[in-house]
Each structure stands twice: as structure tokens, then as C-alpha cells.
């Protein structure tokens, strides 16, 4: 792939500056060792498995795809469909070892590579390929590392570990359902990407049984290969049926016990885990996610009992790490007020004054048992670490400074700290005896970007403006609104990689504006829930108001030339902007837009809009198809024809409506491209968008 622009060529070659950066961390239960994935450098897309000793700082390569499969190229081989789709759900683009699972002490790690099963003894670095009946997905070892559970052809299998290469004694559960996997709604929207869990003693598995027979099918065919058959998959469409998800305890002695809860009332299985050999904990939610239950289950009988219930009149917004039961038995739940996200223990609010809790990492031994939390404090663009006292004392800042974004992983007394600043990202392993920087072989970021951050309008909307590096004050610039604007993603954040492309756009002659409108996370619950039962109104009003407020403070913003670009929900907003406010927005590039939310998935859409049959006005108002006759500005629609998240029919239906209304527009279809646009596709699209916007804005 040839890309002439130096920055975009570098971005494509380095997988947007991620090649060579460590990722997918697992700390040993005692915190003494760390497993991670990383490639050998910025031009290498193939991830390998490494082990780091927290005491000595020694790092060793323990599994290398090039050694395991001689002659293997950097490109991924054809993956099992279930793995390919899970990679889409988790936004994983890396080649080589994509994911792995390990024993609690990290002595054994297992992984699938091109559908083949491998087991690594991390002490010796000896890796063995194990025979399987079909391509493998999501292998996981028991605590001893002697047995491996994995999915092949939608059936759950069990195999011995070590070097035994004899055929597996299969725990082969085949019926019309899929076993041991996460269904679409769980993996895409609910944060659960796995479907089987070993009991601590290794004598049983907890496994999902997913029946998707009632769901409609979505179909794909590659128009560039008309002789090849298409493919299809089950998709939970808003207002329609969801997958029937069950949980079973599968004993290695042949016993089978189904866990029972009111699945008709609470169809979503959000999380599951073994609390002990004799107890399972699971989190379930009702269809509109206004009630979330933490249940305890007896694996011998399958009976469940409610431990906690979190209820919200809007929806229970996901707070990772809750609900949970602490080691002392107390129950941790989210506690929201209109202005803050907090925590409660056994229903009693904890002191989290001044904080927005973003993630609970769990009790941290280095903090004498306090709860380690990722938090917002002050500017929502930053992220901090605080220790929250479960006994009610005031929060203690652990890592907190303006202009930084901290995240962490903890085990025992060991803390893996990731700190992002405009200069870049560094990762450090902190233990009682040492502080070790992790090796990072990624390319240095080309730009150090310090956007002009401000909170504007009476709603205190987080905003950012990026100017060309060579900008001379007084030189008025066309505006490019680089937008997402939807639930679940914060665009204005102190994370340096996301500003690289915005700086490139600015250097092409734009003032690049980014605003987090109401509905986006991390400002306050009230801010997020302003989109309840209607997406478009709050988002459009906020973006327009923010643009005008910024222009008053930044006189070089030329509001007579405003373009907007976005992808996914951002693509929806870009099309919405030119269709409904052509007085403000003069051209748009809309990538992968969900143009009619009646065609999008259940768990996401119904959380915010409710059921289509209960809120027909809201769905109709957020639908773009009826706006087609109003188009009077240049609009470029872009969509991957292999997109299994936002199906290409969304763009094609809008194009059809525009064509029938006689409204000129442009469509860029991408055969074989998914929602993620990896492998340099994103950079090629950027050049196409630049040419379109320059022409549309008469530059």
C-alpha cells in the first residue's frame, strides 16, 4: 500500500503508533511477574508473548509466532469466524498472538494462533502445539495448567495439558446452540467477551449456552468477489429477540447443572465468575438496563439468590468493577447523584467527594486494603488514581496531576501504572522493592500536541481547539469539527495518540474543533443522561452552541466554512449535522453511520432510546432517512461492506433515500473492510476526506 503523505504513511506502517507498544497485561496473583504482548518494533505488526520478573527486571520472550509457525508472514492467516468477530467486538487489530490466558501464577500460558492451539511453559519458554479437531478459539487453562478448555466449531472441548499430544477426551457439548462464547450483545455492548470459566479446583467449568435461533440474520457478500458465497450471522436488532443465554456448570465427572435466574426479566448476563469452588457470582440486567442484580449461585443445585440490586430510572450506567463483593463480604455498588458517580458499600455511600469514579480496580494491598479507583477530578480530560477507604475516610490521591491520564493494573502489592501526557505514554511496574519501566518499542509520536482546552456554554461542555503548527494569529481558518458525540466514548481526553491525526488535519489548514456534548461520559451522570429517549437533539444543540462559543473566544475560526467528519456514532452526527443544520455545517464526511437506530442492536440502542414500540417518536426523530430531501450541503458517505457492527445497509438506505429525493451526494464503499478500518485503510480514507472537504469548502 503506497501512501505519499509522510505522516499518514508512518501511521499506517506503525498501526497508528501501536506496533511495539506493550499491551494485554496479566499480573501474577502475588504480583511478582507480568505477562504482556508486544511486537519487536514500530514496523512489526506481529505480537509476541513476554514475561517480566518484577524483582529483577529481567524480560524474556516466551512465545514467538515466527518460531512456532515457520514461514508465517506478518499478515494474519484466516481466523475462525468466532475469533474474527470477537476481534471486531474488542477492537483488536494486532497480528500474531492476539490474546492469551494464563494460570494464576503465570507458570503456563495458552493461546490460539491462526486457529491452532499452543501451550507455553513460561519458566522454560518451551511451547507445544496441541492437536485439536477444528480451528480453536479462546483456550483457557485450569489453575494447574494441566487441562485446557477451548471452543471449536461452537462446541466446548477439554484437553490435557503438558506435552501430551494424544487426542483430547472431549467434553463435547453439541446442540443447536453455541457453547462457551459471548454473544454479540455481551461482547459489543456489555463488556463480557468470554463464555467459559474454570472452577478454582479444576474439576468443573462454568460455561454459557447461547441460543441465537430466534434472532434475525445479517448477510454479507463481497461484491469484488461475485463468485464467492456470502456469510451471515445472528444479530439482535432493536425491538426484536435477544439471544437466549444460559449458564451451566459442567463437571469433569459428567455432572451437568444449569444455573437458574429469571432470565425472562433479566436476559443480559453481564459478568460471571467463581467466588470459590462452592459459589458462583453473576451479574444480570433487565432489558432496558434499569435494574442490575448481583446474584450468588450454588453450583451444586443451580439455585441463585440476590445479593444486591442497583436501580436507576434512566439506565444503570456501567461502572467497571461494580457490583462486587469485597473480601470481607460487603457489597460494592455504584451510587450516582446528578452531579457525581460514587460508590456505596452495603447501600451506604462512601466518601468520594469531588471525584467521578470511572473504574474500580479492587482492593489494593499497597494501599492497606483501600479500593484503588480510576477517577475524574477537576478537568474531565484528565484521569487520576485514588484510594477510596471502604470504612468511610476521605479519598487519598495516589497519582494525580493536571494534564495527565493515569490508568492501572494491580495485584498484591504490585502496581502497573500507565501515565499519558502530551509527550507520550510510559508504563512503570511499581513494587515494594523496585520501580521498573516497561520496554516500549513503538515509534515516537510525531507531534507534541497541546490543544486549547476549555469548558464552554452554561453546560460546561469540554472542548478542544488544535491550530496548524505554523498558524499566524489573524489568519482565519476553515473549521473542521472532528466529532464522536455518542455514549461511551470521551473524545476530549489527555491521551496523546488521539491528537496526532487532529494535528495533521490542522496542518492541512484547518482549525480542528472537538467537543464532548451531553450524552458522552465522565462529566456527570446528569450530563450523560441528557440523551435519554432521544440522541439527536442534545448532541446537535450542544455542538452548535459550543462552536459559536469557541468562535467568540477564537476569532480565527471562520464559521462560514465548517466541515464535520466522524466515524460510527460520529458518522451519524456528521450526516445529522449537514441534514438538519446546513446553516452551520457546510460539508460532511460520514463514516459507518447508523442512520436508523431501529436497525441497530438491542443492548446499546434500547439502553438509551427504550423499545421502538414504546418510543416510536424518539426513534423516528433520530432516524436520518426522512431528512434526505433536506440535504443541500456536500455529503460523503463511507462504509465498509464487511462491517458487522454497523451493517452497510445503514449507509445504503440513506443513499437510496437521497437518490429518490434527487439530492446529490457521494458514496465511498469499501469492499472487505470492517468497522475498524485497519491495515492503512484509515489513512487512505483520510486522504479521500481531505480532497472532498477541500473541494466542498472551496479551498
Question: Mapped to the 3 state alphabet, what secondary structure does 602-656 carry?
Answer: HHHHHHHHCCCCCCHHHHHHHCCHHHHHHCCCCEEEEEECCCCCCCCHHHHHHHH
Q: Rounded to two decimals, what is the model's pTM?
A: 0.95
CA–CA separation, 432 and 571 (whole Å): 47
CA–CA separation, 14 and 588 (whole Å): 28
| Residue ranges covered by each domain of the chain | 79-422, 452-696
Q: What is the pLDDT of residues 44-64, one digit of tens each?
A: 999 999 999 998 899 999 999
pLDDT the model gives residue 164: 25
**Which regions of the chain are under pLDDT 70?**
1, 72-77, 160-175, 366-368, 699
Beta-carbon-side half-sphere exposure of residue 493 (alpha carbons within 13 Å):
21
Q: What is the pLDDT of residues 138-154, one digit of tens each?
A: 999 999 999 999 999 89
pLDDT the model gives residue 168: 35
Three-state helix/strand/coil letters over 317-337? CCCCCCCEECCCCCEEEEEEE
pLDDT the model gives residue 296: 98
Question: What is the spatial order of strands in the sheet that 101-102 belongs to?
Answer: 101-102, 108-113, 116-121, 126-130
CB count in 10 Å sphere of residue 404:
16
pLDDT the model gives residue 162: 33
Report which DSSP code applies to 594. Answer: -
For domain 79-422, give the fold.
Answer: Methanol Dehydrogenase; Chain A (2.140.10)
CA–CA separation, 377 and 678 (whole Å): 34
Do 79-422 and 452-696 share a fold?
no
Q: What is the CATH number of domain 452-696?
A: 3.40.50.1820
The separation between CA 658 and the C-alpha centre of its own chain, rounded to angstroms, equals 32
Helix (H, G, I), strand (E, B) or coil at 600: coil
The torsion angles phi and psi of 419, rounded to 5 degrees, stand at -125, 125
pLDDT the model gives residue 174: 54
Q: Region of 43 please: left (phi>0), alpha (psi -120 to 50) or beta.
A: alpha
The torsion angles phi and psi of 488, rounded to 5 degrees, stand at 90, -5
Whether the bond into 291 is cis, omega within 30 of 0: no
Residue 269 Cα distances to 195, 307, 318, 427, angstroms? 10, 15, 13, 33
Give the helix, strand, coil percentages of the chain, each rounded to 5: 20, 35, 45
CA–CA separation, 293 and 282 (whole Å): 8
CA angle, 386 then 391 then 397, to 5°: 15
CB count in 10 Å sphere of residue 458:
7
pLDDT the model gives residue 81: 84
Amino acid at each position: 500500500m503506497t501512501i505519499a503523505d509522510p505522516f499518514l504513511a508512518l501511521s499506517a506502517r506503525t498501526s497508528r503508533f501501536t506496533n511495539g507498544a506493550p499491551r494485554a497485561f496479566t499480573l501474577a496473583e502475588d504480583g511478582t511477574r507480568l505477562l504482556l504482548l508486544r511486537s519487536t518494533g514500530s514496523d512489526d505488526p506481529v505480537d509476541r508473548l513476554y514475561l517480566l520478573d518484577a524483582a529483577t527486571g529481567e524480560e524474556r520472550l516466551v512465545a514467538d509466532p515466527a518460531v512456532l509457525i515457520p514461514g508465517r508472514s506478518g499478515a494474519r492467516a484466516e481466523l475462525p469466524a468466532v475469533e474474527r468477530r470477537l476481534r471486531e467486538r474488542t477492537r483488536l487489530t494486532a497480528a500474531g498472538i492476539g490474546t492469551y490466558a494464563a494460570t494464576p501464577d503465570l507458570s503456563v500460558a495458552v493461546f490460539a494462533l491462526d486457529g491452532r492451539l499452543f501451550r507455553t511453559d513460561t519458566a522454560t519458554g518451551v511451547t507445544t502445539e496441541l492437536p485439536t479437531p477444528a480451528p480453536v478459539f479462546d483456550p483457557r487453562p485450569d489453575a494447574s495448567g494441566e487441562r485446557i478448555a477451548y471452543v471449536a466449531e461452537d462446541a466446548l472441548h477439554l484437553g490435557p495439558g503438558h506435552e501430551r499430544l494424544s487426542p483430547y477426551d472431549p467434553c463435547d457439548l453439541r446442540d443447536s446452540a453455541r457453547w462457551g462464547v459471548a454473544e454479540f450483545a455481551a461482547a459489543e455492548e456489555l463488556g463480557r467477551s468470554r463464555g467459559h470459566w474454570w472452577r478454582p479446583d479444576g474439576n468443573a467449568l462454568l460455561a454459557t449456552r447461547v441460543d441465537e435461533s430466534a434472532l434475525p440474520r445479517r448477510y454479507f457478500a463481497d461484491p469484488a468477489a461475485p463468485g464467492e458465497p456470502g456469510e451471515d450471522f445472528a444479530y439482535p436488532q432493536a425491538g426484536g429477540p435477544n439471544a437466549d443465554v444460559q449458564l451451566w456448570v459442567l463437571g469433569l465427572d459428567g455432572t451437568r447443572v444449569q444455573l437458574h435466574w429469571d432470565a425472562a426479566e433479566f436476559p443480559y448476563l453481564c459478568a460471571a465468575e467463581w467466588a470459590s469452588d462452592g459459589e458462583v457470582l453473576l451479574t444480570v440486567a433487565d432489558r432496558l438496563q434499569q435494574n442490575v442484580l448481583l446474584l450468588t449461585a450454588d453450583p451444586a443445585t443451580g439455585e441463585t439468590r440476590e445479593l444486591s440490586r442497583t436501580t436507576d430510572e434512566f439506565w444503570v450506567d456501567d461502572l467497571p468493577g461494580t457490583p462486587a463483593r469485597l473480601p470481607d463480604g460487603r457489597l460494592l455498588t455504584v451510587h450516582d447523584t446528578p452531579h457525581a458517580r460514587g460508590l456505596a458499600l452495603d447501600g451506604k455511600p462512601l466518601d468520594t467527594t469531588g471525584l467521578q469514579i470511572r473504574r474500580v480496580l479492587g482492593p489494593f494491598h499497597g494501599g492497606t486494603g483501600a479500593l484503588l479507583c480510576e477517577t475524574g477530578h477537576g478537568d474531565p480530560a484528565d484521569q487520576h488514581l485514588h484510594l477510596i477507604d471502604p470504612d468511610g475516610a476521605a479519598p487519598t490521591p495516589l497519582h494525580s496531576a493536571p494534564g495527565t491520564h493515569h490508568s492501572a493494573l494491580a495485584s498484591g502489592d504490585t502496581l502497573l501504572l500507565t501515565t499519558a501526557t502530551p509527550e507520550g505514554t510510559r508504563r512503570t511496574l511499581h513494587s515494594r522493592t523496585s520501580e521498573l519501566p516497561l520496554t516500549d518499542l513503538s515509534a515516537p509520536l510525531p507531534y507534541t500536541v497541546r490543544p486549547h482546552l476549555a469548558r464552554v456554554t452554561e453546560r460546561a461542555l469540554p472542548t478542544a481547539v488544535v491550530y496548524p503548527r505554523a498558524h499566524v494569529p489573524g489568519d482565519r481558518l476553515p473549521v473542521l469539527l472532528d466529532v464522536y458525540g455518542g455514549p461511551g466514548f470521551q473524545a476530549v481526553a489527555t491521551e496523546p495518540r488521539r491528537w496526532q491525526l487532529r494535528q495533521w488535519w490542522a496542518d492541512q489548514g484547518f482549525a480542528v474543533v472537538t467537543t464532548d456534548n451531553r450524552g458522552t461520559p465522565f462529566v456527570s451522570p446528569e450530563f450523560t443522561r441528557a440523551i435519554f429517549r432521544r440522541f439527536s437533539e442534545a448532541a446537535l444543540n450542544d455542538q452548535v452552541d459550543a462552536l459559536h462559543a469557541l468562535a467568540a473566544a477564537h476569532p480565527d475560526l471562520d464559521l462560514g466554512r465548517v466541515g464535520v467528519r466522524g466515524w460510527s456514532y460520529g458518522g451519524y452526527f456528521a450526516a445529522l449535522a449537514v441534514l438538519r443544520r446546513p446553516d452551520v455545517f457546510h460539508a460532511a464526511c460520514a463514516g459507518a453511520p447508523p442512520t436508523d437506530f431501529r436497525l441497530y442492536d438491542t443492548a446499546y440502542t434500547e439502553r438509551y432510546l427504550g423499545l421502538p414500540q414504546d418510543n416510536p417518536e424518539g426513534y423516528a426523530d433520530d432516524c436520518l432517512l426522512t431528512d434526505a430531501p433536506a440535504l443541500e450541503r456536500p455529503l460523503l458517505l463511507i462504509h465498509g461492506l464487511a462491517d458487522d457492527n454497523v451493517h452497510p445497509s445503514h449507509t445504503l438506505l440513506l443513499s437510496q433515500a437521497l437518490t429518490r429525493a434527487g439530492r446529490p451526494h457521494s458514496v465511498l464503499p469499501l469492499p472487505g473492510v470492517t468497522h475498524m478500518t485497519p491495515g492503512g485503510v484509515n489513512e487512505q480514507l483520510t486522504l479521500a476526506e481531505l480532497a472532498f472537504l477541500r473541494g466542498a469548502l472551496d479551498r
